[in-house]
Chain A
Amino acid sequence: MSPVEPRPLPNKLPRPPGELEALEQRWQPPRGWRILSAVNNTYVGLFYISAALLFLILGGVLALIMRTQLAVPENTLVDHDLYNQLFTMHGSVMMFLFAVPIVEAIGILLLPAMLGARDLPFPRLSAYAFWAYFVGGMVFFMTIFFDVAPDGGWFMYPPLTSSEYSPGLRSDFWLLGIGFIEISAIAGAIEIVVGILRTRPPGMTLDKMPVYVWAMLIVGAMIIFAFPPVILATALLELERAFDWPFFIAERGGDPVLWQHLFWLFGHPDVYIIFLPAAGVVSMIVPTMARAKLVGYRWVVLALAATGIISFALWVHHMFAIGMPHMTASFFSAASMAVAIPAGIQVFSWIATLRSGRVQNVVPTWFLVGFFAIFVLGGLTGVMLAVVPFDWQAHDTYFVVAHLHYVLIGGLVFPVVAAIYYWAPMIGGERLSERIGKWAAALMFVGFNLAFFPLHIAGLLGMPRRVWTYSASLDWDIWNLLSTAGAFVLAVGFAVVFLDVLLHLRVKGKINANPWNASTLEWLPLDNYAARSIPRITSRDPLWDNPRLREEVDSGQHYLPGLATGERETIVTSPIDAQPQYLLRLPGPSWLPLLAGLGTAAFFLFLTVKMLIPSAIGGAVALLSFFKWLWQSDPAPSGRPHDIGDGIKLPDYMSGPRSHAWWATTVVLLVDGTVFACLVFSYCYFWTVSPGNWPLAPFEIPALGATLISCAAWAAASGLLWLANRSLRASRLAFHSALLAGMVLLSGSFALTWEALATSEAAPDIHAYGAVLYAMLAWQGVHVLTSLLMAGYTLARSWAGLLDHARRSTFDNTRLVWHYTVAQGILALLVTQLPRLAA
C-alpha cells in the first residue's frame, strides 16, 4: 500500500433519520402471489434460474429415457419415431432452454450485486424476457406429450426439416421454441452489456472489474453478433415452410448448406456463450477457495476476450464432412487450434492461484476439481476434433457425443453447481450442507465419467450419433450399458443437489453473509435494494483490500445511501473509467411485463397451430402492454442535481449518446445490422454456388433507374427526420409536420423499393434469387413498420406534452432506428446491383 492520505468517505455519519426506512420502503418487494409482478433482478433472477433448472431436469429425464433405450442392443422400449423426438428435444431443451438461459439468469441475479448497482438498467425487459421464455419454453416442451415434438435434430438440417420431408407441425414447433429463446437472449444481452458498461460503481475502471463481469460483458457482446445468424436462419426456414420460398431447395437455386453455415455461425459462438460465464464463475470461486488473488488477472481477461472473438471463426469445423476442399477446412482447423490457447491460459492461471494459497476443503472446491478433470479432457478431445482428417472419422459419432458432454457438463454444469453452493449464502444467508454437497460432487463426478467416457470408445468402434438402437452384432453393448449405468448415477447426483437446495435454501430479504471470506461486492450486506450505499472502488478485491468496506457501505458512508430522486434509482457511470454521470430512475413492480410475455407467447403459439383469432388477441395484449409500459418510461427530468456524496451532484435525466437508452437502442441495431449482414451473405452465397450467370435467366437485376430513385427517396426520408430534429426546440408545429411528412415518405420509399425489386421479374416462391431479394424487402418492411410505430408514438408523446427538447429520449430512439432503417434500405438496394459490377 502506498502511503497516500486516506480520502474521506463519500458520505458522513450519522445518516439522517428515516433515510434507510425510505429506501427500504421504496424497494419493498410485492407480497404473496403478487411476487409474480416483481421486476427487480433479485426476484427475476431467481425465477429465471429456477425455470432453467427445471428445464435441466426435464431435459435430463429425456436423456435417461434415451440411455435406457440404448442400454441394450435392439431394444424396443421406445420406437424410432419417439426416439427421434427425444434426442431432438433433449438437445434443443438443454441448449436453448437450459444452457443459454441459465448463464443469463445467473448474470441477472449476480451482476447488480457484483457491480454495487441497485438493479439492472431495464428491469421490466428482464421480467418480460423471462415470462416469454418460461411460458413459451413450457409449451414447447409439452409437444413431446402430444407426439408433435420436433424430430429433425437440434440442428434441424434442411431438407429433412423442410415441408417436403417434414410436413406437419413438428418442425414449426422447433422454430417457434427457438423464437422465444432468441427474444430472451437479445433482451438479456441488452441488460448485460448496458448494465456492465454503464452501472458500475464509481471507480471500478475496466482493470478492476471482477473476472465474472468481464466474462459476462464478452458474452453479452457475443450474443449480439452470434444470435443474428440463427434468427435469420429460423426466419428463412419458416418462410420456406410457410410460403415455399426456396432458400434451401437445391433444385430451385437454394442450398441446404447455407443453413449449416448460418446455424453454426451461431452454434459455435454459442458454445462459448455458454462456457465463458462458467469460466468466469471458476475465476471467482478459485481465488476465494485458495484465499489468494487470481494469478494473471490480465491474462485471464485477455483469454476471455480472445475466446470471444476467435469463436466466430470456428463454425465450419462442424462441417468438415460436407465435401469442402481440405485447404478451406484447414483454415478453420488453424483457428480452432488458436482458441485452445486462451483455454490453456485460464487453466494455468487457476492452477497457479490454487498453488499460491491454502485451499479450503469445502463443496465448491470439490466441484471445481471435478470441473478441471472433465473440462481438460473435453478440451483435449476438442483439439482432436479440430484436426480435419480425424474429424472425418469422428464426426457424427458417439465420440462427439462424449466430447460435447465433457465440455458442456464439465465446462458448464459443474461450475453452475459450484456456483449454487458458492452463492447460496448470498441468497439465503446460510451455506448449503457440506456433507450432502460432497456426496453430490462424488456421485456426479463418478456418474458423469462412467456415463460419458465409454462413449468415446463406442464412437471409435463406429457407433454413429442419433441412432434409436443398434445391432447386437456390432459389439457396442458393453460401452452402452456402462454409459447407461453412469447416467443414472449422475442423475442421483443431481437429485442430491436439488434435495440439498430444497432442504436448506430459504430466500431471505436482508442478508449479511460472507462465509467464504470472498473479495467481491456481492458479499456486501444486501437487501432488495442491493447494498445500502454504492461503494467507491479503488481495487480489484475490495473486500480484501479494505476490511472495513462492508461496515462502511452498510452504514451508508458510500455513494447514494438513500433515495435521491424519491424513486428506485441507480448510478450510471462512464463505460471505461466508471465516472458517475447521472441517476437512472428505475421502475417498480408491474404486471405489464408478465402480460406482455404471455401475449407474446400466445401470439406465436396460436400462429404456429394456425389459430389466427387467438393469435391476434395474444398479439394485441402484448402490444397494448408494451405501449402502456413504454408510456410510463422516459420520466420528466426534475431539473435539479442530486448529491450522491463526495460532493458529486448528478442530474436525473440524460439524453443523447450518453444515455442508457441510446446504448440499448444501439445494441438492438447492432443485432439488426448483423441479421442484415447475414442476409447479404446469403445473397452472395447463392450467387457463388449458382452454376451459371447471376441472376439466372429469366431473372434480371432490378432496374438501375428505379433503384436509384428509391435510394433518393430513402435519403430524403432521413432528411425530413433531420429537419424534425432541428425544429424540436424551435417549433412544435414544424417538428410535427416534418415527422408526419417523414412517415409518409418512409412508407413511399418502401413502396418504391418494392416496385424496383419487381423489375427483377423474380417472385419469391420460384427461385432462391427472388426469395432472397424479397427476404431483404421483408426485413426492410419490418424496420419501416417499427420506425412508423415509433414515430407515431413519438408524435403521441409530443401531443400529450411528454416530449420536448430536454425530455427527448423517446425521439432519440426513434431517430436512431429511423436512420438505421434508411441506411439499411439503401444498402439493400445497392447489393441488388452488385452483379452489374461482375458483368
Chain B
Amino acid sequence: MEYRFTSTTLLMMGGLLIWGADFLIVYTFAAVACARQFADLELAGLGIIPAVTVAVSALALVAAALIGRSALRRLQARNPEQPRRFIDFLALAVSVLAIIAIAWNALPALLIEEAC
C-alpha cells in the first residue's frame, strides 16, 4: 500500500488544523468587528461576535469529531498494519485535543460581555 504524504499529513494533523482555522476565523472576525466598529450588531439575540464564534466553533467541533470518529472506527477494525494504526491513532488523539482547544477558544466570547 502506498501512502500519500500530503493527505496522510493532513489526516494526522486534521483536528488541530481545523482548530487553527477556527481560531483564525474567530479572532480575525472579533478583531475586525472591533476595528471597523460593527461589533454592536446582533444576530439571533446574541452579539454578532458571540453568535459568529458559536456558529464557527460548532462547525469546527463537528468537523474535528468526524475526523476522530473515522479514525476510531479504523482503529477498532483491528487493522494490524503499521504505520496505518499509528496514523489513525494520531488522527484520533489530535482530534480529541482539538475539541478541547476549540471549546476553550469559544469561552471568551461567551463569558465576556463587552466585545471591544
Contacts and interface: CB of A to CB of B under 8 A. Distances in A.
A and B touch in the complex (CB under 8 A): yes
B86 A207 contact: yes
A299 B83 contact: no
A64 to B, nearest CB: 41
B93 A299 contact: yes
B104 A334 contact: yes
A299 B90 CA distance: 8
A207 B114 contact: no
Contacts of A313: 20, 23-24, 27
Contact of A325 (B20, B34, B83, B86): B34
A325 B108 CA distance: 11
Interface on chain A toward B: helix, strand, loop, or mixed SS?
Answer: helix
B108 to A, nearest CB: 3
Interface string A570-586: 00001111000000000
Nearest to B26: A331
A310 B101 contact: yes
B90 A298 contact: yes
Interface string B95-106: 001001100110
A305 B13 contact: yes
Contact of B97 (A298, A306, A577): A306
Given A298-B93, A309-B20, A325-B115, A577 B3 contact: yes
A206 B87 contact: yes
Interface in B17-75: 17, 19-20, 23-24, 26-27, 30-32, 34-36, 49
Interface string A312-337: 11000000000011111011111101
B94 A576 contact: no
B51 to A, nearest CB: 13
A331 B8 contact: no
A401 interface: no
A331 B116 CA distance: 13
A76 interface: no
A310 B98 CA distance: 10
B8 to A, nearest CB: 5
A752 interface: no
A197 interface: yes
A301 interface: yes
B29 to A, nearest CB: 10
Interface residues of A, number: 36
A366 to B, nearest CB: 33
Most-contacted residue by chain A among B23, B32, B89 (CB, 10 A): B23
A310 to B, nearest CB: 7
Contacts of B94: 302, 305-306
A715 interface: no
A305 B12 contact: yes
Contact of A341 (B86, B100, B107): B100
A688 interface: yes
Nearest to A578: B83
Contacts of B77: none
Contact of A206 (B30, B86, B104, B105): B86
Contact of B101 (A205, A325, A334): A334
A341 B96 CA distance: 12
A575 B116 CA distance: 47
A650 interface: no
Interface string A281-299: 0000000000000000011
A305 B13 CA distance: 8
A332 B31 CA distance: 12
Contacts of A337: 104
B97 A688 contact: no
Nearest to A575: B5
Interface on chain B toward A: helix, strand, loop, or mixed SS?
Answer: helix
Contact of B105 (A301, A334, A575): A334
Interface in A255-285: none
B3 A574 contact: yes
A383 interface: no
B41 to A, nearest CB: 15
Contacts of B30: 325, 327-328, 331
B83 A576 contact: yes
Contact of A328 (B12, B17, B27): B27
A513 interface: no
A338 interface: yes
A689 interface: yes
Contacts of A312: 20
A302 B5 contact: no
B107 A334 contact: yes
A256 to B, nearest CB: 16
A338 B85 contact: no
Contacts of B19: 309-310
B112 A326 contact: yes
Contacts of A576: 3, 5, 8, 83, 87
Contacts of A327: 30, 49, 108-109, 112, 114-116
Contact of B86 (A298, A310, A575): A298
Nearest to B24: A313
Interface in A202-236: 205-208
A301 B13 CA distance: 11
A337 B107 CA distance: 12
B79 interface: no
Given A207-B82, A327-B115, A302 B93 contact: yes
Contacts of B104: 334-335, 337-338
A688 B35 contact: yes
Given A207-B86, A298-B86, A331 B13 contact: no
B108 A334 contact: yes
A340 to B, nearest CB: 11
Contacts of A333: 108
B83 A205 contact: yes
Contacts of B49: 327
Given A301-B90, A574-B3, A576-B3, A330 B112 contact: yes
Given A325-B116, A341-B100, A576-B8, A335 B90 contact: no
Nearest to A205: B83
Contacts of B107: 330, 334
Nearest to A325: B116
A331 B82 contact: no
Interface string A826-839: 00000000000000
B56 to A, nearest CB: 12
Contacts of A689: 35
Given A305-B12, A305-B13, A325-B115, A205 B82 contact: yes
Contacts of B116: 325, 327
Nearest to B31: A328
Contacts of A328: 27, 30-31, 34
A721 B112 CA distance: 55
Nearest to A574: B3
A331 B93 contact: no
A306 B89 CA distance: 14
B5 to A, nearest CB: 5
Contact of B16 (A206, A306, A326): A306
A577 B116 CA distance: 50
Given A331-B26, A331-B30, A342-B97, 13 more contacts: A207-B86, A298-B86, A298-B90, A310-B19, A326-B108, A332-B27, A334-B105, A334-B108, A335-B101, A338-B101, A338-B104, A574-B3, A576-B5
Interface of A: 197, 205-208, 298-299, 301-302, 305-306, 309-310, 312-313, 324-328, 330-335, 337-338, 341-342, 574-577, 688-689
12 contacts: A302-B97, A305-B13, A309-B13, A309-B17, A309-B20, A310-B19, A327-B115, A330-B112, A331-B23, A334-B101, A337-B104, A688-B36
Interface of B: 2-3, 5, 8, 12-13, 16-17, 19-20, 23-24, 26-27, 30-32, 34-36, 49, 82-83, 85-87, 89-90, 93-94, 97, 100-101, 104-105, 107-109, 112, 114-116
3 nearest CB pairs, A to B: A330-B108, A207-B86, A576-B3
